[in-house]
Amino acid sequence: MKSVEIRKTELEARRAQLLARMEQVESELDSHIEKDWADAAVEQEQDEVLEDLGESAQQELRAIEAALERIAEGEYGFCVTCGERIDEARLDLLPATPFCRNHAPGAKAKRG
């Protein structure tokens, strides 16, 4: 069983990775030079992929920030819906999750 401090350190490390990745995405998006039509079309496709990566990173970053806030408040590891402890295996896979398995988005659809 990992301590809350270990999980906090892992979340902070992941946050640093995401911030660095977002900075790289912004830099890449800002580094365009005039290109011919074909190069511009390829670059636009790459920009869309980079923007999707940036949005994904922002969503994960918000989840991490919320998890760090729950750690500070002493509420980390407990489901925000029912208050039950979140299973360690679930936290290993999704350390920023605010939900137990039963209250995760889409849980009812998965259970049938």
Give 53 or 66, the one with higher predicted confidence.
66
Q: What residue segments make up the domains of the chain, in order of their start?
A: 4-111
79 dihedral zone (left: phi>0; alpha: psi -120 to 50; beta)? beta
CB within 8 Å of 36: residues ≥ 6 apart: none
pTM of the model as a whole: 0.72
In the structure, what pLDDT confidence band is assigned to residue 106 with cuts at 50, 70 and 90? confident
CATH, range 4-111: 1.20.120.910
Mean pLDDT along residues 22-44: 69
